[in-house]
Amino acid sequence: MKTYASISDPSFSPASTKQRPARGPVEYGYTDKTAELFRVHTPPEQQENSSPGRIVRLDRNRVLVASADGLLHLPYPTQGPVPATGDWVWLGHNTAGEPAVVEVLPRQSALSRKRAFEASSEEQVLGSNIDIVAVVVPVDRPLTHNRLERTLVAAWDSGATPLVVITKADLADLADDVVGEVILQAAGVEVVTTSAEQGDGLDELLQHIPTGATLVLLGPSGAGKSTLINALAGHEVQQTGAVRAGDGKGKHTTTSRELVPLPGGAVLMDTPGVRGFGLFDADEGMEEMFGDLETLFAQCRFGDCAHQAEPGCAVQEALAEETLDPRRWASYQKLQRELAALARKHDAAARRAYQREWHQKVMSADRGQRAAERYRHDQAEARGGKAGKRRKR
């Protein structure tokens, strides 16, 4: 059973960063590299006694933070960006003298997606300071190629290293076929095949997670993430649930993103099953995932080729010669349209903000001009009144 320090616990006394090296939560990924990050980003001046911490989980009204002295349930910070699971933070005290998050450090990496509802163009940060994004692919259901490509694009764009983890390899006779398809589709990305129930592939997976590194598991509900976490942790950390036989979907046994320390010194971030993954500003990820298409674009006769019916189009030639998979080309086009639509929404929002700002400036200038005219009028009347008095004399 986990125990949490109270926010009014008088024993909480962060180490002074000026008197000795800052102590941090080692089991949650605090390393020499992280200590250097804290040395570069010093705490606020008014926080003389501060210590490093890491956001373990976001709850409704509190954040669960790991410190060198244990876990703390603290209020959300009142200033700065909204924290995300995995953020490194400075811990200090609020004006009442209670332990508090006083600053969120800049993120070294961030896994983001567009918020789930269609009309939104806002970013949702799923996790930060991640070293490896493991895309979980179960073999007991048909492989969704477009979904795998979409998730790998986001993984590349996060700044972390993508990894594909195939689960439930003991449940399907076609596991070898699925593995072959994934390796072909995820070119350049390491693929690890596992069976958490049998303990197969776990050692190979752990080899991809250095001490102090943070791994996030990303996949649909029922993909076996919780079972895999329990196997890696060596004890039951997450509850597991059965998968429906009708549609292969599972119940969300994980309800929030949370950091889980692993015995070898690495950290694992579990995430709820992701039904959809709307890309958010993923240009770098697109280049990594579809680099072969970028090479084809450079071979087109015209620099502004639309890759439709233009003569000398390398893309159309590759499609005709069957060296380019039509599904892959269609997936690329769909993702590009999605990113373009998101950019237009951002541009529209920027235009509205600019128009509001310009309107406020015009109104302010108009008010200033009217005030100046009233002032000149009052001054003229005052001078006229004085002149009239002198004539009467």
C-alpha 165/C-alpha 181 separation (Å) is 13
DSSP strands (E only) in 105-263: 110-114, 123-128, 132-138, 161-167, 190-193, 214-218, 258-261
**In the chain, how many H helices and how many E strands?**
9, 13
Q: What is the C-alpha to C-alpha distance for residues 229 and 237, in angstroms, rounded to an integer?
A: 7
In terms of pLDDT, which residue wins out, 371 or 233?
233
Q: Which residues lie across from 164 on neighbouring strands?
A: 135, 191
Burial of 117: CB neighbours in 10 Å, binned 0-12, 13-18, 19+: exposed
**How many Cβ atoms are within 10 Å of 175's Cβ, its own excluded?**
17
**Cα–Cα dist 272/252, whole Å:** 6
CB neighbourhood size of 206 (10 A):
16
The percentage of the chain sitting over the pLDDT mark of 70, rounded to a whole number, equals 68
* Tokens matching residue 110: 């961030």
Say whether pLDDT at 55 is over 80: yes
- pLDDT tens-digit profile of 364-388? 555 555 555 665 666 666 666 655 5
* Statement: residue 107 has pLDDT above 70: yes
Q: What is the DSSP letter of 27?
A: G
Mean pLDDT of 88-100: 90
Quick one: DSSP state of residue 26? G
180 pLDDT tier (thresholds 50, 70, 90): confident
In this predicted structure, the answer to whether residue 256 has a pLDDT above a threshold of 50 is yes
Kindly state the average pLDDT of the residues 5-29.
58
Rounded-to-integer distance, Cα 293 and Cα 295, Å: 5
Lowest mean pLDDT among 64-73, 182-191, 379-388: 379-388
Instruction: Dump pLDDT digits (tens) for 268-315.
Output: 997 775 555 555 455 566 776 777 888 888 899 888 888 888 889 999
